[in-house]
């Protein structure tokens, strides 16, 4: 290193050429001038302070958002495990909230039946609709219309879907599992349509051409080539839709109504669901009922997380395959 | 000044050059007073995670010259130029070893704020990257954040004039900068860089995204600007380096056959005319005569 | 074979490629029919969505029509809700829905911006995964669980003390006037904020990630601090996306039912103070449905129709706003 540093004096032309001394007065920040080291220059205190303050605020926001995550996970687990046992999983609700024991088996069965039927209906219809959008409709007016109103439908409050099924099906046919399933299917379908559409779009044209070149008809190409290669992505969307449906409460109040009894009837009598059972437990003032609600919440959370995490796993696997 | 600087030792010991240490030819003809280098790079190495990108670069950048950095793609040109304003550290995992002395002071020394460094060493990027704001606000941006106390209108006009853009945009200063042509956008970016009155301007392939006419304008502009600024330019275009620069550094990729790891080294550095007419290194000769790269 | 194909299977508009239909393959007309059948089936599935949506509007509006008729405009301008007297003014519910959603946005938007900026601009690599997954987890939790947790944990631990504090020390401001209740507009707003934060966060994160690195580098190269880079280079580019994300969060907050039903306090009143109990449109449907009969049910369906219209308007407005911002 040379000894003749500008900072230590003596360098004739050491000053930055473009910074005539006169210019320095106009800058609040300070500049490297003869005799000043970079180390002596700080950005204005106001700027540094604002930078630090906002970093702190952002970290605070992260902390505030992480707090409920940790609390919910911890408290649902802790309070749920206290009541959760084999008996809870396999027995139905007692007729009084006051009474201890019993469980949400009736709710679990109801959720299973309704989500199952809803999936059986909405998955094929949703996938077919997506096939129409990608393979047939493309950019025609009908496809645009369907796309737009699918988006609108994902924004429709689920309680309104429940009201619709109530007016359309419950008034003529009464409460029951099928009505609950219908409302869940309506909630699931737009989710499946839009996620499947995104996946189908990713199937390369070369693959479809290969199908056609082998003499396959369009529908065969779609069923044998396009759908299988998009299957992981479609599965991801379906699993997320199932997780969403399993957690729905509001539409089921209006269509399945809820019940204390274990039933597998598809129509004619009200049926419970895990969410309805938890909602009842949360609304009543008795400790036993509330304890069951916590255990039910743990059960529901596990089911929902299995599907959510499963969807992620499937998605990441398919990415590796691609 | 002592025996070492600015008589740069161009090569490291590992260089298979006929002369182990070659002094820069033009240094012999230098006139007093002694001209201090604006940047002295000492044994600079950069790595990203485990990958070494650049190894053992030592060079001096002289003030109010245009210094071109040339070399085949992937040889670490961009990595090198980003060391001069500490932009490399924005890449996660980047590590810089060695020294980059700015007027004799290491800009990587603890206690030196990169924000201060970048305020003195402006940069123009490969693709024109004006902010999605008005032309005026683009120019005023740096001045505002750096606490400029003078007349902003005057600063904007002066910067645009210096970037030879004033006449084209003076009627539409409040219009979005994104409405300008690519060449105009790049000159706007230059104007934006000089508006904070830096000392050095780094240009990372400033004309590679532009058409030939816009390129010529940028090159003319650089000749104007070098009266007041030291300019370092990375270019993959040898004609451009020959046209505009006073000094040229040639970087080349070294390959470790065993691990197939690649990194850039500085092969030769000197006056542009000399590099292009009588290169001392075989690789430089091959490159400038178009035999590879 | 080639000849036959060109003669026999003039491809229908829906089957882009003809199929090989040599006699041995037994697929002559069947293949073509299957193709058009499949196309029609697919199209019908798509049209079904439009059909259901149309049916939704018709069926619910039709059911609510008698109440709309008897109440007239007072259905949305009156706050007198007395089912036993046949009076159905829903203004209190509309008010509660709007107030809780606004409170939710006031809390959730800054939090979401903070978290998404952290994830895109600040976070070291090893923190990105966990924080991002925690946010996704928050989005997956069903609303009934938020309700349960809100009533039994958040209420005694946070909502009640904060409401008491606000009423005690800031009670001179009308919006914090006591007597305070934890089950209130504020309580429902907080739980809504927690629920919509992950939605807004993940959308904002996507938007920030689309801001070109070149913009950030340009700002850094001019000597900007990290915050100045965000403020000047990232946020302006992302403005349209942030507005869109906020609107989507708002749409979700307006329609959220169960958690709000459990935390809003279920009081049919319009109160300027956010620490007082109120009611929301979705909550009153969920809470009163099971004991409602006749016109009361029709009125609840009517509330649903108004809620539906409100969310549709918000969605449309979001699109329009995003469109406008995108142009400038």
Helix, strand, coil share (%) of chain B residues, nearest 5: 35, 25, 40
| Alpha carbon distance B67, B60 (integer Å) | 10
Who among B33, B35, B105 is closest to A38 (CB)? Answer: B105
Residues 5-64 of A with CB under 8 A from B: 5-7, 11-14, 16-19, 23, 25-29, 31-32, 37-39, 41-44, 47
Q: Given pLDDT bands bounded at 50, 70 and 90, which one contains residue A137?
A: confident
- Residue B16 clears pLDDT 50, i.e. is over it: no
User: How large a percentage of chain A has pLDDT more than 70?
Assistant: 86
User: How large a percentage of chain C has pLDDT more than 70?
Assistant: 88
| Alpha carbon distance B207, A317 (integer Å) | 43
C-alpha R_g of chain A = 31
Give me the mean pLDDT over the B98-102 stretch.
92
C-alpha R_g of chain B = 19
Write out chain B residues lying below 8 Å of C238, CB-based: none
Nearest CA in chain B to A33: B103
| Alpha carbon distance B63, B227 (integer Å) | 9
| Alpha carbon distance C222, B117 (integer Å) | 10
- Between CA B13 and CA B19, with CA B15 as vertex, the angle to 5 degrees is 85
Q: What is the mean pLDDT of chain C?
A: 87
Cβ atoms of C79 and C270 within 8 Å: the answer is yes
B109 touches chain C (CB under 8 A): no
Bridge partners for B66 per DSSP: B231
Cβ atoms of A158 and A241 within 8 Å: the answer is no
| Alpha carbon distance B107, B86 (integer Å) | 8
Q: For chain C, report the end-to-end CA distance as a whole number of angstroms.
A: 59
Question: Measuring CA to CA, how many Å separate B35 from each of A38, B23, B120, C116?
Answer: 20, 16, 19, 49
The per-residue pLDDT for range C250-301, each reduced to its tens digit, is: 999 999 999 999 999 999 999 999 999 999 999 999 999 988 988 999 999 9
**Beta pairing, strands B51-61 & B39-48:** antiparallel
User: How large a percentage of chain B has pLDDT more than 70?
Assistant: 87
Give me the mean pLDDT over the B181-187 stretch.
92
Q: Which two tokens stand for residue B161?
A: 């004039």
Q: Which two tokens stand for residue C30?
A: 């069947």
Torsion on CA atoms C80, C85, C86, C89, rounded to nearest 10: 0
Q: Identify the residue with better confidence: A322 or A189.
A: A189
The per-residue pLDDT for range C201-229, each reduced to its tens digit, is: 998 998 899 888 888 999 999 889 999 99
- Residue B13 clears pLDDT 60, i.e. is over it: no
Bridge partners for C82 per DSSP: C87
Give me the mean pLDDT over the C310-327 stretch.
71
Q: State the pLDDT at residue C169.
A: 94
A231 touches chain B (CB under 8 A): no
Bridge partners for B68 per DSSP: B233, B248
A62 touches chain C (CB under 8 A): yes
Q: State the pLDDT at residue A154.
A: 87
CA B8 to chain centre: 18
Burial of C5 (0-12, 13-18, 19+ CB in 10 A): middle
- Which residue is listed with tokens 């009266």? B227
- Residue B2 clears pLDDT 50, i.e. is over it: no
Class in CATH terms, C75-327: mainly alpha
| Alpha carbon distance B221, C151 (integer Å) | 68
- Residue B39 phi, psi (nearest 5): -125, 135
Residues 6+ apart with CB under 8 A from A74: none
| Alpha carbon distance C228, C231 (integer Å) | 5
When mean pLDDT is compared across A9-23, B144-158, C47-61, the lowest value belongs to: A9-23
Bond before C124 cis per omega within 30 degrees: no
Q: State the pLDDT at residue A75.
A: 95
The per-residue pLDDT for range C47-79, each reduced to its tens digit, is: 999 999 999 999 999 999 999 999 999 999 999
Cβ atoms of B268 and B249 within 8 Å: the answer is yes
Question: Measuring CA to CA, how many Å separate A222 from each of A230, C14, C181?
Answer: 10, 13, 58
B130 touches chain C (CB under 8 A): yes
Q: State the pLDDT at residue A190.
A: 94
Residues 38-67 of C with CB under 8 A from A: 38-39, 41-50, 52-53, 55-56, 59-60, 62-63
DSSP B199: S
| Alpha carbon distance A177, A158 (integer Å) | 17
Q: Which two tokens stand for residue A285?
A: 């003032």
Question: Measuring CA to CA, how many Å separate C161 from each of A285, B8, C126, C167, C194?
Answer: 21, 71, 36, 10, 18
**Beta pairing, strands B94-102 & B105-106:** antiparallel
- Which residue is listed with tokens 């996938």? A127
Bridge partners for B123 per DSSP: B202
Q: State the pLDDT at residue B50.
A: 87
DSSP B293: -
Who among C35, C47, C49 is closest to A153 (CB)? Answer: C49
Residues 6+ apart with CB under 8 A from B69: B77, B80, B81, B232, B233, B234, B235, B248, B249, B251
Q: State the pLDDT at residue B291.
A: 66
Contact between chains at C225 and B132 (C-beta distance less than 8 A): no
HSE-CB at A230 with a 13 A cutoff on CA atoms is 28
Q: State the pLDDT at residue A251.
A: 96
Cβ atoms of A276 and C284 within 8 Å: the answer is no
Residues 6+ apart with CB under 8 A from C201: A65, C111, C112, C115, C116, C119, C135
| Alpha carbon distance A67, A74 (integer Å) | 11
- Domain boundaries B25-288, corresponding CATH code: 3.40.50.300
Q: Identify the residue with better confidence: B196 or C303.
A: C303
Nearest CA in chain A to B107: A38
Bridge partners for B70 per DSSP: B250
Contact between chains at A17 and B111 (C-beta distance less than 8 A): no
Cβ atoms within 10 Å of C6's Cβ, excluding its own: 11
How close does chain A come to B226, measured CA to CA in Å? Answer: 10
| Alpha carbon distance C282, C188 (integer Å) | 12
Q: Which of C210, C221, C226, C241 to mutate to test the interface with B (most CBs of B within 10 A)?
A: C221
Contact between chains at B115 and C237 (C-beta distance less than 8 A): no
- Residue A321 clears pLDDT 50, i.e. is over it: no
> Count of residues for chain A?
322
Q: State the pLDDT at residue C106.
A: 97
Q: What is the H or E stretch that residue C66 is in?
A: helix C28-71
CA B83 to chain centre: 10
| Alpha carbon distance B82, B79 (integer Å) | 5
pTM of the model: 0.83
Q: Which two tokens stand for residue C156?
A: 């005694």
- Which residue is listed with tokens 């496809």? A143
DSSP C19: P
| Alpha carbon distance A129, A124 (integer Å) | 8
**Strand boundaries in A91-221, DSSP class E:** none
Cβ atoms of C131 and A62 within 8 Å: the answer is yes
| Alpha carbon distance C154, C135 (integer Å) | 19
Cβ atoms of C171 and C178 within 8 Å: the answer is yes
> Count of residues for chain C?
328
Cβ atoms of C71 and C90 within 8 Å: the answer is no
- Residue A263 phi, psi (nearest 5): -145, 150
**Beta pairing, strands B200-204 & B121-124:** parallel
- Domain boundaries A90-321, corresponding CATH code: 1.10.3720.10
How close does chain A come to B146, measured CA to CA in Å? Answer: 6
Q: State the pLDDT at residue B111.
A: 83
- Residue C30 clears pLDDT 80, i.e. is over it: no
Q: Given pLDDT bands bounded at 50, 70 and 90, which one contains residue B142?
A: confident
Q: State the pLDDT at residue A87.
A: 87
């Amino acid at each position: 290193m040379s000894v003749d540093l500008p900072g230590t004096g003596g360098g004739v032309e050491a000053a930055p050429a473009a910074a005539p001394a006169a210019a320095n007065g106009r800058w609040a920040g300070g500049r490297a001038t003869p005799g000043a080291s970079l180390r002596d220059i700080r950005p204005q205190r106001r700027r540094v302070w604002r930078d630090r303050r906002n970093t702190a605020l952002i970290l605070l926001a992260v902390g505030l958002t992480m707090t409920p995550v940790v609390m919910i996970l911890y408290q649902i687990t802790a309070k749920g495990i206290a009541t959760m046992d084999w008996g809870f999983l396999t027995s139905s609700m007692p007729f009084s909230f006051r009474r201890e024991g019993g469980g949400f088996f009736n709710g679990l069965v109801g959720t299973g039946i309704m989500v199952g039927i809803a999936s059986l209906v909405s998955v094929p219809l949703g996938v077919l609709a997506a096939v129409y959008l990608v393979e047939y409709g493309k950019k025609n007016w009908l496809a645009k219309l369907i796309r737009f109103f699918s988006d609108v439908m994902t924004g429709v409050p689920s309680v309104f879907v429940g009201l619709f099924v109530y007016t359309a099906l419950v008034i003529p046919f009464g409460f029951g599992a099928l009505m609950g399933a219908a409302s869940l299917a309506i909630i699931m379908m737009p989710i499946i349509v839009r996620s499947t559409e995104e996946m189908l779009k990713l199937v390369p044209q070369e693959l479809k051409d290969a199908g056609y070149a082998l003499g396959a008809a369009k529908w065969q190409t779609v069923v044998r080539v396009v759908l299988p290669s998009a299957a992981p992505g479609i599965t991801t969307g379906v699993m997320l839709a199932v997780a969403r449906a399993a957690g729905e409460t509001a539409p089921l109040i209006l269509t399945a109504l809820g019940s204390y009894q274990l039933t597998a009837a598809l129509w004619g009598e009200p049926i419970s669901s895990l969410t309805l059972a938890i909602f009842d437990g949360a609304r009543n003032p008795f400790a036993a009922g509330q304890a069951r609600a916590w255990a039910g919440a743990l059960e529901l959370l596990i089911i929902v997380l299995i599907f959510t995490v499963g969807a992620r796993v499937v998605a990441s696997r398919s990415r590796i395959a691609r | 000044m002592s025996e070492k600087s600015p008589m740069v030792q161009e090569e490291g010991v590992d260089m298979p050059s006929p002369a182990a240490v070659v002094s820069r030819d033009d240094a012999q003809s230098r006139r007093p007073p002694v001209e201090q280098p604006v940047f002295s790079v000492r044994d600079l190495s950069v790595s990203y995670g485990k990958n070494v990108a650049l190894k053992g670069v030592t060079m001096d950048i002289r003030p109010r010259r245009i210094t071109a950095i040339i070399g085949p793609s992937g040889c670490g040109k961009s990595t090198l130029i980003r060391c001069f304003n500490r932009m490399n550290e924005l890449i996660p995992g980047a590590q810089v070893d060695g020294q980059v002395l700015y007027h004799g002071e290491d800009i990587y020394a603890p206690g030196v704020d990169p924000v201060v460094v970048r305020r003195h060493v402006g940069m123009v990027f490969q693709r024109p990257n004006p902010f999605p704001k008005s032309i005026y606000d683009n120019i005023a941006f740096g001045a505002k954040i750096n606490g400029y106390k003078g007349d902003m209108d005057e600063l904007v006009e002066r910067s645009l004039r210096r970037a030879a853009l004033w006449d084209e945009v003076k009627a539409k200063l409040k219009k979005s900068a994104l409405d300008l042509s690519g060449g105009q956008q790049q000159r706007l970016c230059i104007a934006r860089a000089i508006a904070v009155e830096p000392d050095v301007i780094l240009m990372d392939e400033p004309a590679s995204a532009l058409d030939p006419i816009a390129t010529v304008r940028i090159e003319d502009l650089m000749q104007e600007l070098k009266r007041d600024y030291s300019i370092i330019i990375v270019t993959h275009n040898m004609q451009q380096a020959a046209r505009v620069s006073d000094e040229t550094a040639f970087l080349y990729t070294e390959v470790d056959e065993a691990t197939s790891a690649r990194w850039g080294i500085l092969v030769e550095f000197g006056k542009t005319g000399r590099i292009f007419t009588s290169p001392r290194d075989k690789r430089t000769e091959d490159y400038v005569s178009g035999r590879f790269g | 074979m080639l000849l036959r194909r060109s003669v026999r299977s003039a491809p229908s508009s829906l089957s882009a490629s003809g199929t090989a239909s040599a006699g041995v393959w037994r697929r002559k007309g069947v293949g073509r029919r299957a193709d058009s059948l499949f196309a029609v089936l697919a199209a019908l599935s798509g049209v079904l969505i439009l059909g259901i949506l149309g049916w939704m509007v018709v069926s619910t509006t039709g059911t609510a029509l008698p109440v709309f008729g008897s109440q007239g405009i007072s259905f949305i301008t009156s706050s007198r809700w007395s089912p036993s007297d046949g009076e159905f003014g829903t203004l209190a519910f509309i008010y509660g829905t709007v107030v809780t959603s606004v409170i939710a946005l006031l809390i959730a938007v800054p939090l979401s911006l903070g978290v998404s900026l952290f994830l895109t601009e600040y976070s070291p690599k090893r923190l990105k995964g966990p924080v991002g997954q925690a946010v996704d987890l928050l989005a997956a939790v069903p609303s009934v669980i938020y309700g349960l947790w809100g009533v039994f944990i958040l209420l005694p631990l946070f909502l009640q003390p904060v409401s008491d504090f606000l009423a005690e020390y800031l009670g001179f401001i009308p919006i914090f006037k006591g007597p305070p209740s934890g089950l209130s507009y504020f309580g429902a707003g907080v739980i809504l904020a927690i629920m919509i934060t992950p939605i807004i966060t993940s959308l904002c994160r996507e938007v920030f990630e689309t801001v070109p690195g070149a913009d950030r580098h340009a700002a850094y190269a001019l000597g900007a601090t990290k915050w100045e880079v965000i403020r000047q280079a990232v946020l302006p580019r992302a403005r349209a996306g942030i507005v869109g994300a906020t609107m989507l969060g708002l749409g979700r907050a307006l329609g959220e039912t169960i958690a709000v039903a459990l935390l809003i306090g279920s009081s049919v009143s319009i109160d300027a103070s956010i620490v007082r109990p109120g009611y929301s449109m979705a909550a009153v449907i969920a809470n009163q449905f099971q004991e409602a009969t006749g016109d009361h049910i029709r009125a609840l369906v009517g509330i649903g129709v108004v809620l539906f219209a409100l969310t549709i308007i918000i969605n449309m407005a979001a699109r329009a706003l995003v469109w406008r911002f995108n142009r400038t």
